[in-house]
A and B are shown apart, each in its own frame.
Chain A
Amino acid sequence: MAKMKFLCDAERCIECNGCVTACKNVNEVPWGINRRRVVTLNDGVPGEKSISVACMHCTDAPCAAVCPVDCFYTTADGVVLHDKDLCIGCGYCFYACPFGAPQYPSPQERAFAVRGKMDKCTFCAGGPEEPGSQAEFEKYGANRVAEGKLPACAEMCATKALLAGDGDVLADIYRKRVLRRAGRPQTWGWEKAYGADV
């Protein structure tokens, strides 16, 4: 049984924000809401690494565990979604989420036409409305997976750093890359610090 996952290859991510605007584009995410963002560690110094982060669609999703109105559900292939009609915008899920994924529109901004309700990455799988319907698009954005496509952020990643899809396939792709990298460290300064043959 496939399990949908994200994987961001920090060796490839160049913090170009392609994934961020791709998400804005296909889902019409309004100003102020960021379903995906790129985080950089050690900015501007050796060891700088960037990774693109959104909802990771956890197997045992902490957000779902704490939700007081139980608005979360999971598809058969592991995509964590929620019902905005039920959501009360309390913000508990934000505290529970290890990745800071849940977003809440500001009072001025009626994001997705629903005031105050939580919004997060849907794995481009919409929400609990008829897949591809106008109602779904307005509340949750695009439903690409129903059309046989994968998340826009990963599909448009500049360097194919961000991968999205069946976890087993992702692991294969990534393993191949790591194998190719083997024999040579990819971390800046390693060779210098530890000699050429680390």
Chain B
Amino acid sequence: MKTRFLFVAIPLVAVLLLLTGCYESRDVTLHDAGVYKGQTDPLVEMSADPAYQERLRERLLMVQTDR
């Protein structure tokens, strides 16, 4: 029973492994120090807005100083 299962299982795994070897990812990430390769974060643009920065500055002054 067990051996029969293995007879099927081992080749199957082997085939799968082979197939995996054949698979090639199209979006290989090559190292390029400092150059971001991921998804774009809308916050990057938002954070350049002076109004955004002012809002955070006001928050800081409001909440983290001693009163």
Chain A contacts to B: CB under 8 angstroms: 1-2, 4, 64-65, 67-77, 79, 81-83, 85-86, 125-131, 143, 145-146, 148-150, 154-155, 157, 160, 163-166, 169-170, 173
Contact = CB atoms under 8 A, between A and B. Distances in A.
B44 to A, nearest CB: 5
Interface string B2-24: 00000000000000000000000
B63 interface: yes
Interface of B: 29, 31-48, 53, 55-57, 59-61, 63-66
A9 to B, nearest CB: 11
A23 to B, nearest CB: 16
B36 A165 contact: no
Given A83-B39, A165-B57, A68 B47 contact: no
A139 to B, nearest CB: 11
A71 B43 contact: no
B64 A70 contact: no
